[in-house]
Chain A
Amino acid sequence: MMKNFIIASVGGQGGLLATTVLASVFAASGCDVKTSEVHGMAQRGGAVTSYVRRGEKVYSPLVHAGEADVILGLEMLEAYRELPNLRAGGTALVSDEKISPLTSIMGESRYPDLSEKSYLQRAGSAFIVPAVSIAKEAGNTRASNIALAGALSALLGEDDKVPLSVWEAQISRLVPQRTVDVNIKAFYGGRAWMLKPGE
C-alpha cells in the first residue's frame, strides 16, 4: 500500500485543496491519516509542499527524505525539486504545467528542461499528466489539481482500491459548490488518462 504522499505546487494552484481531498478520501477509508502543510507567507506564489501519510499508526505528519511513495506535482519544477524525497522505485505523477519563478522572468535563472526522462533519473516511474488540458476540457483550468487526483486514483494498487463513490463524495464536499460538476469531470478525465497514459 502506498503510504506517503508529497504534494508539490506553487502557491495559488490549489495544492492544499488536493491535499485535503486526498487526506479525506484516505480518512474515509478507515486507516490512520495525518497531513501537514504550511500557510501564510509561503502561500503567496512561493513553493508549497504538503504531506499526506497513512498507515496503521502514523506518528510524524511529515514525509521525510527518501520516504515518499508518490510525488503529486501540480507544477513541473516543484515536482522535480521534491524528487530526493521519493523512495527508491517511487512514482512521480506530474502535471505538465510550468510556472516561471520570478528569477527566471528576471533572466537571472533558467527554468530547467524537464521531461519524463528527467524525472525517471530519480523516480521508479514517472507520468507527465496533461492535467491543465484535462481540466480545461472539464470546464475550468483551475481544476487541474483534481484532474491529477483522478490520475492518482488509477495509480493506487489493486490491493488498495478506494471506491470511486468515496472520491466523488469527498470532492463534492470539499470543492466550491458551484464547481462540483467541473471537478468531478476533471477527476474522471485524469483517471481515464492514467488508465491509458499517453493516449
Chain B
Amino acid sequence: MKEFLYGNEAIARGAYDAGCAIAAGYPGTPSTEILETMARYKDIHVEWSTNEKVALEVAIGASIAGRRALCAMKMVGLNVASDPLMTVSYMGVRGGLVIVDADDPGMHSSQNEQDNRWYGKFAKVPVLEPGDSEEAYLFTKLAFAISEKFDTAVIVRSTTRVSHARSYVNTGERAVPEPVPYVKNASKYVMLPANARRRKPAVLRRIEELSAYAEDTPANRVEWGDTSFGFVTGSISYQYVKDAFPSASVLKLGLSYPLPVNLITEFAGKVGTLFVVEELDSFWETEIRAMGIPVRGKDVFPEAGELTPKLISNGVYRVLGDVAPTQGVLAEPETRFDPEMASLPQRPPVLCPGCPHRGVFYVLKKLNLTAAGDIGCYTLGALQPLAALDTTTCMGASIGHAHGMRLALPEDKAKKVVAVIGDSTFMHSGITPLLNMTYNGVDAPVIILDNGTTAMTGHQGHPGSGQNVRHEESPKISIEAIVSACGRKNVVVVSAYDVAGVEKAVKAALKDPSTVIIARTPCALITRERHAPPSFDPSVCIECGICFMAGCPALERDGKMPSVNATLCTGCGVCARVCPKAALKASFDITGGVAAENGGERK
C-alpha cells in the first residue's frame, strides 16, 4: 500500500512489519515519533523507559530472550545508552536488535551536533542510513534481517531532515518470525573478561563479513551518469546532490559502516574528480582516503551544520569552476549579504504564555542566583529577559554541576548556587546526582520544575506523570518520596504560579540548602486551562517595566505600559504577581504557596 509518511513513522512501520515485538526509548527530538507511532500498534509492547540506557537494556533483554526488539533515541541519548551498546557488540543477539538513532545536524533542538556514525565504528556494529521515508521503511526491515544474519545489533541512523520529512512509502504486511527458543548461553551473554576475550575475535570476524556484505547489499547502489566527476554520498545529502547535479554519477551509501572497499574503488576509477558529500564529520572521507583514493570533501564542503544543494554546488564550483554542469541550483561563489533581512528582529523560541516555569525563573533572576540548568523547555529560561540559567550541559547535569560549583566557588558566591531540573529529566538522570549530594555531604537547593510531563518533545509520559506511552494510566511514582529516599529531608511543594510563594521557598532553601523545592503546576499546553486575562489600570501603572521582565509573549508593549494580548493570554497571572503596584491584577487568587496535586491554581 502506498502511504505518505514521516521518516519516523516509516521506521516504526518498518519495525512493525518486520515483526518487532518489544520497543523502548526515551523521547528526544527528532526521534520521538518513532515510539509514538509504534504505540499505535496495540499488539506489541511499547514503552517510554526512564532513560536511553534502560531502553537499550530492555531491548537487549528481549533480543536475548528470542524476540525482535527495537530501541529509539536522539543522538545524545545514544551517549547515555553507549555503555550497553559497547558490550552488546560482543554478545550479539538472538532476536533481531535494532537501535534507531536520530541525529540533529544544525542543532534545531539539541545541545550539540555529534555525528553518531562513529558509534558504529566505535562499537563495531553496522550502521544503515536511510535518505527518505521509503528507505526508512525498507532499511529498518533490512536492519532486523542483518541483525539476525550477522549476530549483531544494528544502528539505523536518521537525521532531522529524514525523520521530520514526509514522502511516499510502499508498505507491506506484518510478518512475525517465530521466537528463537531461549537457551542459556553464559559464554555468549555473560561478559566476564574470559568470555569477552573469547568473543572479541567474533566481533572482528563479523566486521569482515559485513564488509563483504557491503559490496552487494541492496542498501548501496551506483547511479551512472556523467563521469567527468562523481559523488559518494548518502542519507539526506544524496537528495541535495541529486537536486544540484541531476545527471552526475553517484555512489549512494545506505550501509554507512562498514564500507564496500571494492565498490568504492571501482566507482572512483571510473569517474574524474571524486567528491564525498556527507553532513557533519568526514566519516566516509577519512575511510576512503585510507583506501588510498584521492577525494575532495571537507576541504570544500562545510563540516558544521546542514548541507544544502547550493553549498554542494558551491563546493564543486570551487574545485572545477564552471565546467561542472549544474542544473537547478546556480553555483555562486558567495551569498550576498542582505542588510535589510539581517536587521529584522529575530524570533527565538520562548516559554509559552501560561508556562509555569516563568515565575520560578523570574525569582531566580530577581535574587541574582547562580542556577545550574538542565535539558527541557525550561532551558529557554536561559534566554533574555529571564536569563536565569548559568549552565546547561546534558540530561541530569544540573545537580552535579551545582554540587561542583558549591565546592569550588568562594563561600559568598557558593551559597547562591542552585540546581533547576524538570520532572522528566529528574526521573531520567537526576536521581543519582541527588543521592550523590547527600552521600558526599554537599548541599545545594534543587528546584524540580514539575509540570507533570515531558513537555519539550510533545508531552510524553514518564514514571512521575501517571501515564504510559499510550497515555493510559500507569503507576505514578512520587517525586517527594524519591527525594526523601535520596536523603533530602526538607521537601517543599509550591505552586509555580505563586511567585511570592516560590520566592519565599527559594529564600528559605538558601538558608537550608539541603532543601528540594518542587514547583508543581501542570504544563499550560496540556491543561489548556484558561483564566480571564489580568485587568490593567493605567492610572496606577508607574511604567517600571518589571512586568516585561517575566518575558511573556502575551504581554505586549504599548509605549511604556503593558497591553495584554487576550488571544495568547492564559490568565496565569504571573505578570500581575510581579507587578509592584497591582496595576495588573490577576483574575484569580493564589496564596499559601502549597499546591494541590492538580496544580492548585484554582482557589
Binding site for B on A (CB under 8 A): 10-12, 23-24, 27, 32-47, 58-62, 64-66, 77-78, 80-81, 83-84, 99-112, 141
Contacts and interface: CB of A to CB of B under 8 A. Distances in A.
What DSSP secondary structure best describes chain B's contact surface?
loop
A102 B352 contact: no
A60 B347 contact: no
Contact of B352 (A12, A33, A34, A40): A12
B466 interface: no
Contacts of B193: none
A61 B341 contact: no
Interface string B335-377: 1001001001111111110000000000000000000000001
Interface string B120-144: 0000000000001000000000000
Contacts of B347: 10, 45-47, 77-78, 101-102
B385 interface: yes
B160 A38 contact: yes
A112 B568 CA distance: 21
Contacts of A106: 384-385, 548, 551, 557
B310 A103 contact: no
B557 A40 contact: no
Given A34-B166, A40-B457, A64-B308, A102 B242 contact: no
Contacts of B510: none
A111 to B, nearest CB: 6
Interface residues of B, number: 54
B553 A38 contact: no
B158 to A, nearest CB: 13
Contact of B345 (A35, A46, A83, A101): A101
Interface string B9-35: 000000000000000000001101000
The 7 closest A-B pairs by CB, nearest first: A40-B109, A40-B29, A46-B349, A109-B345, A61-B165, A44-B349, A41-B109
Contact of A33 (B4, B338, B348, B380): B4
Interface in B230-280: 236, 238-240, 242-243
B556 interface: yes
Contacts of A59: 238-240, 242-243
Given A35-B166, A37-B164, A64-B308, A102 B239 contact: no
Given A35-B166, A61-B165, A45 B109 contact: no
Contacts of A78: 347
Contact of B243 (A41, A46, A60, A141): A60
A104 B350 contact: no
Contacts of A141: 567
Given A24-B4, A60-B309, A45 B456 contact: no
A36 B164 contact: yes
B555 to A, nearest CB: 7
Interface in B512-571: 548, 551, 553, 555-557, 567-568
B239 A46 contact: no
A15 B567 CA distance: 17
Given A44-B380, A105-B553, A106-B384, A39 B344 contact: no
Contacts of A108: 384
A77 B457 CA distance: 26
Interface in B566-594: 567-568
